[in-house]
Structure 1
C-alpha cells in the first residue's frame, strides 16, 4: 500500500524534472540519487522504484529532450512554408530556437564532455543527426537542389547551426533577441550550399 502511494505521488516525470534541474545547476557528478530524493522531499529509496541508478535517470532525461526536439523538427515538415524562407531554412531556425529557448537541455544533449555520461548522449546525438539529415535531404530534393555533388551538405548545415547556438547560448540571449542574426545565418548557410554545389 505504501509503495503504491509513493508511486502515485512521486511520478517518473516529477523525478526527471527535478533531476534535470539538478544536473544543470550542479553537474552530473555533483548530485546523487540521495540528493535528488532530498530535493523532492523523499528518501532516495523511493526513486529506485522508477530508476535503478543515476545513469539510467540521466539517460531517460536525454532521450526525453531529444524526442522533444525531434517532434519540433517533424512539425516543420508538416507546416506550410513561410514566405521568404525555404523549408530547410525553417528547419534550421526551429533547431536554433530550441537551443536558445532550452539552453540547459541543449547543453546536456550536445555540449557535455563528461566521459562517464558521453556514451549516453552519443547514440541519441547520432539519431538526431540522422533525422536532421533525412529531413534536409527531403527538403533539398523538393527545392531541386543539386545535393548529389555535395553529399556532406546536411552535416555542414547541422554543424553551422550548432556553432551558432553554442556561441549565443553563453550569453543566455532569447531566440527573439537574436532572431535577425539567426535568419541571416541560416540564409548564409542555405545560399552557401547552392554555391558549393554549382
Structure 2
C-alpha cells in the first residue's frame, strides 16, 4: 500500500526531469540517490521504487540523449546524398555540436570509465559509431585505393572529433565558443580524406 502511494506521489517522469538538472549542475559522481532524493524533498527509498541504482537513473536520461543524437543524425543524413563528403562534414559537425552543447551527458556517454555505467551504454555507443562508420565508408569507397582505410579510418576520425570535444569540455567551452574552430577541424579532416 505504501509503495502505491509513493508511486502516485513521485512519478518516474518527475524524477527524470528533476534529476537531469541535478546531473547537469553537479555531474554524475557528485550525486548519490540520497542527495537526489533530498534535493527533491523525498526519501531515497522513493527513488529506489523507480530505479534500482543511480546508474540506472542516469542511464534513463542518457538513453534519451542517445536517441536524440541518433534521430538528429539520421534526419540530417536523410536530407543529404549518401557518400557525399558534404554529408560527412554535416554529420561530424552535428556530433561535435551535440557533445559541446551537452557536456555532462557526453562525458557519461563516451568518456566515463565507471563499470557501473559502461554496462548501460555499450549498445547505444555502438549504434552511434556504426552510423558514423557507415557514412565514412561510403565516402572512402568512392576513392580508388582506399580499401585498406575502410575500417581504420572511421575510428581515427571519431577519435579526432572525440579529442576535440573532450579538450573543449575540459576547458568549459560550449559549441558557440569554438564554432569556427570546429568548422575548421572538420574541414581539415575531410580535406585529408580527399587526398
TM-score interval (norm. to shorter): 0.7 to 0.9
Normalising to structure 2: TM-score of the pair?
A: 0.81
Say whether 1:15 aligns with 2:15.
yes
Query: Measured at CA, do residues 5 and 79 of structure 1 come closer, stay the same or move farther in structure 2, by a change above 3 Å?
Result: farther
Match for residue 194 of structure 1?
194
Q: How many angstroms apart in 2 are the aligned matches of 1:61 and 1:161?
A: 23
Query: Measured at CA, do residues 20 and 108 of structure 1 come closer, stay the same or move farther in structure 2, by a change above 3 Å?
Result: farther
Give the gaps of 5 or more residues in structure 1: none
Match for residue 100 of structure 2?
100
SS in 2 for 1:86: helix
Match for residue 51 of structure 1?
51
Say whether 1:60 aligns with 2:89.
no
Deviation at 1:88, TM superposition (A): 0.3
Deviation digits for residues 41-83 of structure 1 (CA, Å, limit 9, x no counterpart): 22223223322222321222222221121111112112357xx
Query: Measured at CA, do residues 18 and 87 of structure 1 come closer, stay the same or move farther in structure 2, by a change above 3 Å?
Result: same
Match for residue 179 of structure 1?
179
Match for residue 162 of structure 2?
162
Q: How many angstroms apart in 2 are the aligned matches of 1:19 and 1:112?
A: 19
Contact 2:32–2:54 (8 Å) recurs in 1: yes
SS in 1 for 2:113: coil
Q: How many residues align?
A: 190
Q: How many angstroms apart in 1 are the aligned matches of 2:113 and 2:37?
A: 26
SS in 2 for 1:172: coil
Q: How many angstroms apart in 2 are the aligned matches of 1:27 and 1:180?
A: 28
Contact 2:37–2:47 (8 Å) recurs in 1: yes
Q: How many angstroms apart in 1 are the aligned matches of 2:34 and 2:165?
A: 33
Alignment RMSD (CA, Å)? 2.6
Deviation at 1:29, TM superposition (A): 4.5
Give the gaps of 5 or more residues in structure 2: none
Match for residue 127 of structure 1?
127
Q: How many angstroms apart in 2 are the aligned matches of 1:31 and 1:174?
A: 23
Q: How many angstroms apart in 2 are the aligned matches of 1:105 and 1:77?
A: 23
SS in 1 for 2:51: coil
